[in-house]
Amino acid sequence: MKDRVINFGVTLVRGTKSAWKKYRLLIPPKLWWKYIKLLLGMRPAEEKFYRPSNKEEYNKWLQENDSATSSSPTKLKYQPLISVIIPVYNAPPEFLKECLDSLLEQTYQNFEICIADDASTNPQTIEVLKTYENHKKILIKYRKKNGHISRASNDALKLAHGEYIALVDNDDTLEKEALYEVVKALNQDKNIDMVYTDEDKLDENGIRCFPNFKPDYAPDTFMSVNYISHLGVLKKSIVDKIGGFRIGYEGAQDYDLYLRFLERTERVHHIPKVLYHWRMSEGSTASDIDKKDYARLKGKKALEDALRRRKIAGKVHLADNCPYYWIEYYVTNSPKVTIIIPTKDLPKITGKCLKSIFEKTTYQNFEVVVVNNNSKDPETFKLFDEYKSKYDNFKVLDANFEFNYSKINNYAVSKTHSDYILLLNNDVEVITPEWLSLMLGYAEQRHVGAVGAKLLYPNNTVQHAGVVLGIGVASHMYLEKERDVVEWCGQLAVPHNFSAVTGACLMVGREKWKEVGGLEEKLRVAYNDIDFNIKLLEKGYYNVCLPMVELYHYESKSRGSDIAGEKKKRFDSEQEFMYQKWNKQIKNDRFYNPNLTKKTTMGYLLDRTTTDDHRG
């Protein structure tokens, strides 16, 4: 009974917040019944979805979503030899045996296991290896002197004859279809140089937990965290060209290898199935990364090397509240940034925005262009005059035609000449003084399209930290999460690639703006920023959100609701436009794992298919 009362209270608060946010509690009578039914059907998110972080719930999801496939390896035309690389050192015998058996039981059988024992001192480890050394698929080198994991991995690599190598730790296990799924992907596209899969962990009792549902290849995400990890399968010829594993990067040797590998190719394929199980043995990185803080520092060193090799000026920062990284790209030659702010009256809101820009921004080569769209309030023009008299880099551009967000911004861009453009809402307030230089550093990178920031509600909860396609047309993720929450792989703490970032604060290079034709003027109000982001993706660019750049967003106070009357009709027509133009992209967001739910914006949850209710 107590739980029901608590759940009802939570539901009532959430329903009231939703009604206030959309209608200021003035709900149209025809929608009251809809809201009553919604309220009666509401349950807290943890009851509607499975949380991957909860071991019991994840295993229920596994039972409901058996990922096993009927593999037919003999039907694969292309059957490359895969060399599985395993460095071994004092592996617990039972775990080492489980690892090797999981490989020998693979449905795809054209593989070899290349083991380098790094002078193990545990006789039971050696005893297990001895029992397997006569197996026709297993090659073993016994090192006479311990040299740590990079040297051992290189010795295992020297045994390899395969066209591809697969990296496996000596106490981990694979699903029996793992190699089959990899080779099936290679049969679909022989140009693939790297394949990786989703993974989870095995606790001390061998129970699966903490799954890692990954995006497709995301280069900026990868510069923040080695999300690729296991299972990684790489073309051996490229591994040989880059010299294999490097000494001195132990603890982050795979990360360093991947960074160098991905400088030679971006032909990367992701299999969104959990095919690798990472053992949480005592002292392992899988168990507790804090036990191997040296690994984090070696990862930082690998990233610093990557910047030097790529001739990119920047600094690698350790994130404050999670074991990841963020890159500060140094701005070159101080290019000019035009900040475009459309507005119609509301001088207090616009004034707060302007005050924060001019008083807080550390980067100085910028101009602010306020685009006046049919303002009438004398206080608005008084504000314009005040800023014109105070700042040479402040301009007002009149666009006195019917409101069309796309047309207003396209017009402003056509009247300016800077190398970089920043679209900014008038109801935004700067928090991070370095916001402009940090965003510009990313916008200068050749592969980057649109650059966004973390936007917060005034109560310090998240309003925007990246956009996912397919939740509706597109939705902001992690809505109303607390400001300092980290989330999956630090999505609320370090840079990540998303399919889109909001136009409320969006930076892009002018040449890239021109390349995709600016904003779509058929989308007068809604989804023009999403359309713009997708156009950048289609040109091969990556959009990125920077959580270390924070601004407050008072969210469209100047416009009001889109859920009634003529605004509703226009919203529906713009939604339909998006589905017709980008249906494939909306259904398949490559930066959002297809195993994750698209029924909520709360982030990193799994659909619950059972209807059991344990509230009592």
pLDDT at 9: 61
User: Under a CB-based contact definition with an 8 Å cutoff, are residues 169 and 231 in contact?
Assistant: no
Task: Read off the pLDDT band of 294 (50, 70, 90).
Answer: confident
What integer is the mean pLDDT of 297-310? 97
Distances (CA, A) of 151 to 54, 86, 99, 247, 605: 37, 12, 21, 7, 40
Residue 290 has pLDDT above 50, yes or no: no
Residue 41 has pLDDT above 90, yes or no: no
Residue 515: enclosing H or E segment and its boundaries?
helix 510-516
pLDDT at 35: 56
Task: Read off the pLDDT band of 616 (50, 70, 90).
Answer: very low
Residue spans of beta strands (DSSP E) within 519-602: 542-553
| pLDDT tens-digit series, residues 487-497 | 999 999 999 99
pLDDT at 559: 46
| pLDDT tens-digit series, residues 384-443 | 999 999 999 999 999 999 999 999 999 999 999 999 999 999 999 999 999 999 999 999
Distances (CA, A) of 360 to 335, 354, 427, 434, 483: 19, 10, 16, 8, 20
Q: Name the least confident of 150-164, 276-290, 338-352, 554-568.
A: 554-568
pLDDT at 613: 42
Taking the C-alpha atoms of residue 353 and residue 461, their distance in angstroms, rounded to an integer, is 19
Residue 588 has pLDDT above 60, yes or no: yes
Which residues have a Cβ under 8 Å from the Cβ of 101 and sit 6 or more positions away?
none
Residue 221 has pLDDT above 80, yes or no: yes
Taking the C-alpha atoms of residue 193 and residue 234, their distance in angstroms, rounded to an integer, is 6
pLDDT at 74: 81
Residue spans of beta strands (DSSP E) within 344-419: 366-372, 394-398
Residue 292 has pLDDT above 80, yes or no: no
User: Under a CB-based contact definition with an 8 Å cutoff, are residues 67 and 276 in contact?
Assistant: no
Residue 614 has pLDDT above 90, yes or no: no
Residue spans of beta strands (DSSP E) within 440-522: 448-456, 462-464, 467-469, 474-476, 496-497, 505-509
What integer is the mean pLDDT of 439-460? 97
User: Under a CB-based contact definition with an 8 Å cutoff, are residues 143 and 152 in contact?
Assistant: yes
**Verdict on whether the full-model pTM lies above 0.85:** yes
Q: What is the residue-wise DSSP string for 246-304? A: PTT-TTSHHHHHHHHHTTT---EEEEEEEEEEEE--TT-TTT-GGGGHHHHHHHHHHHH
